[in-house]
């Protein structure tokens, strides 16, 4: 016998319910608007890719690739992976479709779910959502600065005023190996103090030791040499230029000598935007330059690029913590209220006609009392109620009740659509501060005579 247990969403995933979806829509709408203003165009890549895209792009010895990827074999024995981040896919797509062929700089953005098998905790889900942007085709420091200004513009448009920007530079393929040797030499002297994982990283990815959250490791590496002190001339000039552009714009930032980021593809600029409102999970955005990534995933040449990714769940938490109200209202213009089966049928057709005319309508699908239907209209904050009972049916009329001021009038079925459109337009123009009122208490429920309700 199969067990008939009730099925639940997978741990670390979450349903977005009505009430939340509208808030997300507002946030996504603002993101898209700002992206448009900055002239970034949307790209949508598949949710799963060849596993190699990520092992080669993100790096074999990163936490993401080692511990967190959802990798599976499909029916044809191919190894596929649910995308754990967006940049590798965007660069793969850029190469595949030769988006750089016109010799122009490409500015792209994306928005959607990513997948990592992390320990679920507040603000960290296994299916989580990110938006991000990439400038591909230029190594100009203006691109790095613009990417940072872009994410700050999004946060500003969302109403998140409190943030901290940390920036750093990881050097490039020319100067990083030299720094790496110096770092390894330092780390060898404190190796006994490092956690087991970092001892392993000594062999595979020593830079990431600077990023370890373990308290012992942080203490042991407090005096570690910083890559900022070992940049070559080109990287130093580039980093100075990015800082100057941000300063010119009056953007406060902290130069963070330990900013490593958990992905291997970054070179030169790295940055994080932190939200003090979030406590321990405080990074809401991270990014940097990745001039070598295209080649790591099979491109024939190095392609300069810079981008960021920001977590929407984290931003939602930050907005909540900051007390920012997202302005959305589920719209219901008109409630159709009937008394009796015949009226209900008549209103059912009228309801669809109004909806086709762009009017948001709700109609009673049970036979509840007028009072209950009016209460529903009030709950939905409808502006008008169209009421039809036996009398109205007989006369071919509809009672149109303004739910804001309580006034009502009789309108013929022929005219009702145009009258409703006119009234709604007028109410919209007046942009009334007044809320619709609850008129359901006016009706005592006995012998409903809607035409006389007022
Ligand atoms: Zn360099
Ligand atoms: Zn460690």
Where does residue 229 rank: exposed (0-12), middle (13-18), buried (19+ CB within 10 A)? exposed
Matching residue, tokens 């939200």: 275
Which among 354, 403, 358, 313 has a CA at the least distance from the CA of 113?
A: 313
Task: Say how many Å lie between the CA of residue 213 and the centre of ligand 2.
Answer: 7
So where are the chain's domains? 20-175+231-321, 334-452
Task: Say how many Å lie between the CA of residue 197 and the centre of ligand 2.
Answer: 6
Task: Say how many Å lie between the CA of residue 97 and the centre of ligand 2.
Answer: 41
Q: Is the pLDDT of residue 363 over 50?
A: yes
Distance separating alpha carbons of residues 267 and 270, to the nearest angstrom: 8
Distance separating alpha carbons of residues 229 and 95, to the nearest angstrom: 34
pTM (predicted TM-score): 0.87
pLDDT at 348: 94
pLDDT mean over 220-224: 91
Decide if 20-175+231-321 and 334-452 have a common fold.
Answer: no
Taking all residues of the chain, what is their mean pLDDT, rounded to a whole number? 90
Task: Say how many Å lie between the CA of residue 164 and the centre of ligand 1.
Answer: 26
CA 118 to chain centre: 19
Distance separating alpha carbons of residues 369 and 444, to the nearest angstrom: 10
Contact of 330 with 362, CB cutoff 8 Å: no
Which among 227, 218, 121, 247 has a CA at the least distance from the CA of 176?
A: 227
| Right CATH for 334-452 from 3.10.510.20, 3.40.50.800, 3.90.960.10, 1.20.1440.120 | 3.40.50.800
Percent composition of the chain: helix, strand, coil (DSSP 3-state, to 5) = 40, 20, 40
Q: Which runs of E-coded beta strand occur in 14-83?
A: 41-42, 48-50, 71-73, 79-82
Kindly report the length of the chain.
454
Q: Is the pLDDT of residue 122 over 80?
A: no
- Return the percentage of the chain with pLDDT > 70, whole number: 95
Q: Is the pLDDT of residue 66 over 90?
A: no
Q: Quick one: tokens of 177? A: 């190996």
pLDDT at 445: 47
Which among 407, 408, 415, 405 has a CA at the least distance from the CA of 437?
A: 405
Which ligand is nearest the CA of 234, by number? 1
Phi/psi at 72 (nearest 5 deg)? -150, 160
Task: Say how many Å lie between the CA of residue 360 and the centre of ligand 2.
Answer: 57
Task: Say how many Å lie between the CA of residue 175 and the centre of ligand 1.
Answer: 4
* Highest mean pLDDT out of 130-144, 292-306, 328-342: 130-144
pLDDT at 453: 41
Question: What CATH superfamily classification does 20-175+231-321 receive?
Answer: Bira Bifunctional Protein; Domain 2 (3.30.930.10)
Which ligand is nearest the CA of 232, by number? 1
Which ligand is nearest the CA of 187, by number? 2
Tell me the pairing of strands 334-338 and 361-363.
parallel
């Amino acid at each position: 016998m199969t067990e008939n247990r009730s099925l639940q969403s997978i741990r670390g995933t979450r349903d977005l319910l009505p009430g939340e979806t509208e808030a997300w829509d507002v946030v996504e709408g603002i993101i898209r608007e700002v992206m448009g203003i900055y002239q970034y165009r949307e790209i949508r890549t598949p949710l799963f890719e060849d596993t190699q895209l990520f092992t080669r792009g993100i790096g074999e010895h990163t936490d993401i690739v080692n511990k967190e990827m959802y990798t599976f074999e499909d029916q044809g024995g191919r190894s596929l992976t649910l995308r754990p981040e967006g940049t590798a896919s965007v660069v793969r797509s850029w190469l595949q479709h030769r988006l750089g062929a016109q010799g122009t700089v490409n500015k792209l953005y994306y928005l959607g779910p990513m997948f990592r098998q992390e320990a679920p905790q507040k603000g960290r889900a296994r299916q989580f959502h990110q938006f991000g942007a990439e400038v591909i085709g230029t190594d100009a420091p203006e691109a790095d600065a613009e990417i940072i200004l872009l994410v700050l513009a999004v946060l500003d448009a969302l109403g998140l005023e409190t943030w901290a920007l940390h920036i750093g530079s990881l050097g490039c393929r020319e100067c990083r190996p030299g720094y790496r040797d110096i770092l390894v030499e330092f780390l060898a002297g404190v190796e006994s103090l490092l956690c087991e994982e970092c001892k392993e990283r000594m062999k595979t990815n020593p830079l990431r030791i600077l990023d370890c959250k373990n308290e012992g490791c942080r203490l042991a590496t407090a005096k570690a040499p910083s890559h900022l002190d070992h940049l070559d001339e080109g990287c130093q000039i580039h980093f100075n230029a990015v800082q100057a552009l941000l300063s010119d714009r009056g953007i406060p930032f902290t130069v963070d000598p330990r900013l490593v980021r958990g992905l291997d593809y970054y070179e030169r600029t790295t940055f994080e935007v932190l939200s003090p409102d979030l406590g321990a999970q405080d990074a809401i955005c991270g990014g940097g330059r990745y001039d070598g990534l295209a080649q790591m995933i099979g491109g024939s040449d190095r392609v300069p690029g810079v981008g960021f990714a920001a977590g929407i769940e984290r931003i939602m938490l930050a907005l909540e913590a900051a007390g920012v109200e997202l302005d959305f209202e589920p719209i219901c213009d008109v409630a159709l209220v009937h008394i009796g089966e015949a009226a209900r049928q008549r209103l059912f057709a009228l309801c669809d006609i109004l909806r086709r005319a762009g009017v948001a309508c709700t109609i009673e699908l049970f036979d509840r009392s007028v009072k209950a239907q009016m209460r529903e209209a009030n709950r939905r904050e409808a502006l008008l109620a169209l009421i039809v009972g036996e009398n109205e049916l007989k006369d071919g009329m509809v009672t149109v009740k303004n739910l804001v001021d309580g006034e009502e009038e009789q309108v013929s079925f022929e005219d009702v659509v145009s009258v409703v459109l006119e009234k709604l337009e007028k109410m919209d123009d007046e942009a009334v501060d007044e809320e619709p009122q609850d008129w359901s208490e006016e009706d005592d429920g006995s012998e409903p005579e809607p035409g006389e309700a007022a």
